[in-house]
Structure 1
Amino acid sequence: MLVSSLKPDLQIFADLGSWRAFAPVGEVSLDNYAGVFDRVPFWQFLANSVVISGVTVVLGILINSMAAFALARLRWRGRGFVLTLILATLIVPFETLALPLLWWVNKLPSLEANGFSLEFSQGWLNTYHVQIIPFIANAFSVYLFYQYFSSIPRELDEAARVDGAGWFAIYARVVMPLSGPAIATVAILTFLPAWNSYLWPLMVIQSEELRPVMIGLQYFFQLNVSWGQVMAYSSLITVPVVALFIAFQKSFINSIASSGVKG
């Protein structure tokens, strides 16, 4: 992908089937990258995806970890059934939920600013929050936090309770600071689907100012398709994903390694 983004279309197809397809040889230039910025509002799409993915990750870590804390550390009747119910939602594909979810978000009230006053309107379509709120709670993230929190000794909770700490203080000051690998894993696994989201924004967003980067791929398949620009655009939108993994790879690998360690 990266090598092809540096070549014109004719050379891309000429190099197919040989080692030259994987090497930056021939007519190599940055013209495809310049063409990307001329063809789409790349920075607008990038900013939208960064905001949507970033907010989804932050709120997802908060909400899912609090739910997992209640399931793993608190004693209350029916928590096993609730955990089973949460995990059961993993077998339902998003494509099955897309149309009912679209109907619901179109019926929900929305608060909008009109000059110096706030007004209620119906429907979340064509907004930022319709791309964020439905994906904050995630069953797999709850399960990951639940498994990690269950491995933390309960004696720490008892010691904190003796010192006068409440459950929220234990969550914020004891459990979460010890859960770095789990947080990093959930951050990566939440960021990836949010960044790669295509079907849902295609259904709910009409304004170009609110579209994420994946919708931008459509622009390159209208009229004349430039495969070099497609590769250049794909390379650009891959950079944040690679950067996130590099930043959290140590904690991510530690979380995977520790998941198989007992005792």
Structure 2
Amino acid sequence: MALVTPDNHGLRLWTRYAVLLLVAVIFIFPLLFMAMSSLKPDQQLLSDTNSLRAFLPVGDISFQNYSDAFDRAPIGVFVMNSVLITGATVLLTLFVCSLAAFSFVFLDWAGRGLIFSVLLATLIVPYESIFIPMLLMVSQLPWIGFEGLEWGWLNTYRVQIIPFIADGLTIFLFVQYFKDLPRELIEASRVEGASWWMIYRRVVMPLSGPVIATAAILKFLFMYNQYLWPLMVVQAEEIRPVMVGLGYFTDQLNVPWGEVMAYLTIITIPVLAFYLSLQRMFIASVASTGVKG
């Protein structure tokens, strides 16, 4: 039986840090290349790709590519549209799917096992296979807005949000997490006279930070990277998301690579900000989650 000495423990710790640092560098290099390339003119950008200069802010550095990119297309509008659509969808999905998972785990009602099985079966159905039926449906659906009754959801924000709120994967994640929560907390809350809504809001959800962060990140990436569905249902430029806007941006003739890199850098910022904010919440939630006796 091998003894673990302080020297061996330190060596293992440094080896682990070295491996994690190498993985981080591998993931950071593309982002660094993109950001540095967005600051260089095309001729220098292409010549620097043969050396490490591609990852360094050297040479003719300026923000001209960003200025030209904003002049070429309304990038700010595209980014704000995606942030609005993605943020609203994530919040609504977390609320609706966590409620559904709560009912599957803690409430006793007829047919919940069968319905949950059907729900899991929908995970193998690709979204692209139902886009045409969804398109035909949303083109005829009514909507009551400030201007009265309207027919059809095309060229609206709601057509990019509502069809994606109910998510089988998110419900599954919440169900699996809720099953591991201490049942004693729920039983004690019921004995104290708490309603199911109060248990959901004050007991279950405060303990669910890790699954909330995980589900939010997965949903954010899915919605932020949406291309095919917005391309089908949105023609108005003022409500285009960033991925459709990217296609519109690159379809123009003779777009310099520096401007393309500037566009990609801009649309990456909300993703990084969202991920880092949820990562902090995830770590804080894991550190604070527990049952005190």
- TM-score, with structure 2 as normaliser: 0.82
What residue in structure 2 maps to residue 260 of structure 1? Answer: none
1:229 correspondence with 2:262: no
The equivalent residue for 1:83 is: 116
CA shift for structure 1 position 243? 0.8
* Structure 1: tracts of 5 or more residues without a match: 258-263
Secondary structure in structure 2 of the residue aligned to 1:169: helix
Displacement of 1:251 in angstroms is 4.4
Mapped contact 1:185–1:251 kept (Cα < 8 A) = no
Of 202, 206, 218, 2:231 maps to: 202
Counterparts of 1:84 and 1:69, CA distance in 2 = 16
1:131/1:201 contact within 8 Å kept: yes
- Give the structure 2 partner of residue 216 of structure 1: 245
Where does the alignment leave 5 or more consecutive residues of structure 2 unmatched? Answer: 1-33, 288-293
Find 2:163's aligned residue among 110, 114, 134: 134
Aligned length: 253
Distance 2:50 2:117 in 1: 50
Distance 1:153 1:172 in 2: 16
Distance 1:204 1:256 in 2: 40
Whether 1:42 and 2:75 are equivalent positions in the alignment is yes
- Superposed, 1:20-31 pairs within 5 Å as 20-31=53-64
| Whole-angstrom CA distance in 2 between matches of 1:256 and 1:169 | 22
Greater Cα shift, 246-255 or 207-216: 246-255
CA distance in 2, matches of 1:18, 1:247: 34
- Which SS does the other structure have where 2:146 is aligned? strand
Letter in structure 2 aligned against 1:237:
I
Deviation string, structure 1 residues 189-234 (Cα, Å, up to 9, x no partner):
1111111111111110011111111222122331112111111011
Q: CA RMSD in A?
A: 1.8
Partner of 1:154: 183
Could you tell me how far apart the structure 1 residues matched to 2:112 and 2:256 are? 54
CA distance in 2, matches of 1:221, 1:17: 27
Which residue does 2:28 correspond to in 1?
none
CA distance in 2, matches of 1:83, 1:256: 28
Contact 1:87 1:139 in 2 (8 A): yes
Q: Does 1:248 align with 2:278?
A: yes
Q: Retained in 2: the 8 A contact 1:109–1:121? A: yes
Greater radius of gyration (CA): 2
User: What percentage of aligned pairs have identical amino acids?
Assistant: 55
Q: Please report how far the alpha carbon of residue 252 of structure 1 lies from its aligned counterpart in structure 2 after TM superposition.
A: 4.1
TM-superposed CA distance for 1:113, in Å, is 3.1
| SS in structure 2 at match of 1:3 | helix
How far did 1:244 drift?
1.0
Q: Given the alignment of the two structures, is residue 18 of structure 1 paired with residue 51 of structure 2, yes or no?
A: yes
TM-superposed deviation, 1:16 = 2.5
Q: Give secondary structure in 1 for the equivalent of 2:199.
A: helix
Contact 1:220–1:226 (8 Å) recurs in 2: no
1:52 is aligned to 85
